[in-house]
Structure 1
Amino acid sequence: MTVPFDDWVADNYERLWPELFVPSAIDDVVDVLEALAAGRPALELGIGTGRIAVPLALRGVEVHGIELSPPMARRVLEQPEGERIAVTIGDLAHVSAGSSFGLVYVVRNTITNLTTQDAQVAAFANAAAHLEAGGVLVVENYVPELRRLPPDENVHVFAATPTHVGYEEYDVAAQIAVSHHTWVIDGQVRSLASTHRFVWPAELDLMARMAGLALRERWADWTGTAFTSESRSHVSVWEKTA
């Protein structure tokens, strides 16, 4: 399991990843999730600071969350209407929110924070245990960037700006990627490294099947773009069979 984000990351989250807070990066996600919830309660696994959960709650959806990091969960409560969201502190692979839901969702590559296959399988089982019959699980994840690695190289740079450099270091045999970030914030240099288990859509489909879920839809993004062999991310929807 990745070490949970600390107070500094929680307090600076919007500054560290500003691209996640542009309107389209929120509204498109919330539009899809609201439609899939269809008036039923929703559960976010890895709710973070409430970037998606709070706008979804403002649409009238009853939202609950599970979050490993207390500082990140604190940020949920600090936001307008955040007090409407019940957050359970703990590991998304094993902790129960104590209710059943029509929608469970995991956004922004959070499934890769679980660094073993067993933990990812457990997360799918936990999600399925929270779903009512006919409910859906939605996972947003990136497609591993292995094709972009030059021969005999194991590092892929994914961000390079005057204030942020980010790269992933791949251990292909272990199916592990370590994400390295360096920022310049208020004149200070801060670094963060986090370990992830990268996973292909087909492997996630098998985990879902083991949990009693059937693939219903898969897109390349939240606007419904067709998923192809060239897609660099996917949004997958699995349904719990009766």
Structure 2
Amino acid sequence: MTSSEIWDEETAATYDADAAPQFRPEVLGPTVDLLERLAEGGPALEFAIGTGRVGIPLAARGVPTSGIELSEPMVAQLRRKVSEKQLPVTVGDMATTVVPGAGAFSLVYLVWNTISNLRTQAEQVQCFRNAARHLRPGGRFVIELWVPPIQRLLPGEEVVPMSLEEEHLVFDTYDVVTQACASHHYYKADDGGIRYGVGQFRYIWPSECDLMAQIAGLELESRSTDWIGSPFLSTSGSHVSVWRKVDMLR
């Protein structure tokens, strides 16, 4: 078992509602568009598939899609939408779990900062290696990840406000020594009260991701700020990175 937190039934039950902005067509559409192109008709595997936000529409486009998910309650929510035949999911962690068809996938992907749920560098390296294990030669591994806003911290500070929307406040706390991060979420409840949740992560720099990929036998193919291909700049707050599995016979 890895250090990832496991989403419980209460969290899984409200996950789609809490993540509603990520379901908007202008967010989800470009994500699925790019993944469909990168799959090139071959089978795809989503690490930490959750309730199927991305995997279900990708499968609906005719891309054979499978998933790995650590939380059984999250899989139960996914099963309310699609059957096992339509979208097979294996319960397990994304760093070590191996699914049927390993070595034949054309695409493995991991969206919305989820690799940071693995809270040690060693486990994150294992995740890259597990992606490579599932890919066929020339297959791609795609990660969507935020760039830690450390430059916004003044000396001695450790808190960065990430979202100040009326219905949802987010404050992240950073430990720049261990690269540990805690994301504190405050939601306005239907009864007028405040619902609080916190997630524990380990942030990763883009260059660190590239080294992990190299260790796993993957090479960087492209990096953009977002799913529509905006250039990645020193000021970018996120990146969508694509690595290809090296063909050892070339």
Residue aligning to 2:171: 167
Q: Which moved more, 1:88-97 or 1:7-16?
A: 7-16
1:33 and 2:35 aligned? yes
SS of alignment partner, residue 237 of structure 1: strand
* Structure 2 counterpart of 1:228, from 207, 228, 233: 233
Letter in structure 2 aligned against 1:238: W
Q: Give TM-score, length-normalised by structure 1.
A: 0.97
Displacement, 1:80?
4.6
Residue aligning to 1:18: 20
Structure 2 gaps, min length 5:
none
CA distance in 2, matches of 1:17, 1:76: 14
Displacement, 1:163?
2.4
CA distance in 2, matches of 1:41, 1:96: 15
Runs of 4+ that moved beyond 6 A: none
Q: Which moved more, 1:162-171 or 1:129-138?
A: 162-171
Name the count of aligned residue pairs. Answer: 242
Displacement, 1:135?
0.3
Displacement, 1:151?
2.7
> Is the Cα–Cα contact under 8 Å of residues 142 and 240 in structure 2 kept in the other structure?
yes
Displacement, 1:81?
6.2
Q: Give TM-score, length-normalised by structure 2.
A: 0.94
Displacement, 1:11?
1.4
Aligned ranges 1:75-224 → 2 under 5 Å: 75-80=77-82, 83-99=85-101, 100-187=104-191, 188-224=193-229
Q: Which moved more, 1:36-45 or 1:77-86?
A: 77-86
CA distance in 1, matches of 2:173, 2:84: 36
Q: Which moved more, 1:180-189 or 1:202-211?
A: 180-189
Structure 1 gaps, min length 5:
none
Letter in structure 1 aligned against 2:153: L
Identity, in percent, stands at 44
Displacement, 1:79?
1.1
> Is the Cα–Cα contact under 8 Å of residues 116 and 203 in structure 2 kept in the other structure?
yes
RMSD (CA atoms): 1.2
Letter in structure 2 aligned against 1:92: M
